[in-house]
Structures are given as C-alpha cells and as structure tokens.
Amino acid sequence: MAKQKKEPGFEKSLERLEEIVDQLESDDLELEKSLALFEEGVKLAEACNQRLDQAEKKVSLLLKDSEGALSEEPFQAEDE
C-alpha cells in the first residue's frame, strides 16, 4: 500500500506563502530561484483558495434549516 503525501494545513501553507513573498521582495535572488519560488507560491495560493472554498461550502451546509433553506447573513467579527 503506497503512502499518500500529506499536504500541509492551511496555516502552514499560508505561513510558507508569506515566507516566499518576503524572499521575492528581496533583490538578492537569482532569476531561476525567483521563478521557482513564484511557482511554489502560486501553487500554495491555489491550495489555500481551494481550502477556503471548501470551508465556505461546509459552513453553508451547516446553516441550512430543517427544510433545507439557507439563510445567508454577513459575517461579523465579535469585536465589531
């Protein structure tokens, strides 16, 4: 049985994406390294976006009432 490579969680992916941005903003990278980091960053951004979409769908499912109707309300943080 082949082991599947476990993808890092959302927080780890976002943390790595921030590291990549910091590295790309520095001027001391070679072109090849910059391109490799950019490609990794794009993949991480897409993966994070997919995870956010999945989370949104799960929340929508949880908000359905007993008749299956969704009631959408804007999210408000507790400190607002």
The burial of 78, by beta-carbon neighbours within 10 Å (0-12 exposed, 13-18 middle, 19 or more buried), is given as: exposed
Do 24 and 34 contact (CB within 8 A), yes or no? yes
Give the pLDDT of residue 46: 95
Model pTM score: 0.65
Q: Which two tokens stand for residue 44?
A: 């991480």
**What pLDDT is recorded for position 42?**
97
Query: Which residue ranges of the chain lie beneath pLDDT 70?
Result: 1-6, 60-66, 68, 70-80
Token couple for 59: 């929340």
Q: Please name the amino acid found at residue 68.
A: G
What single-letter DSSP state applies at residue 20? Answer: H
**Is residue 71 a contact partner of residue 60, using CB atoms and an 8 Å limit?**
no
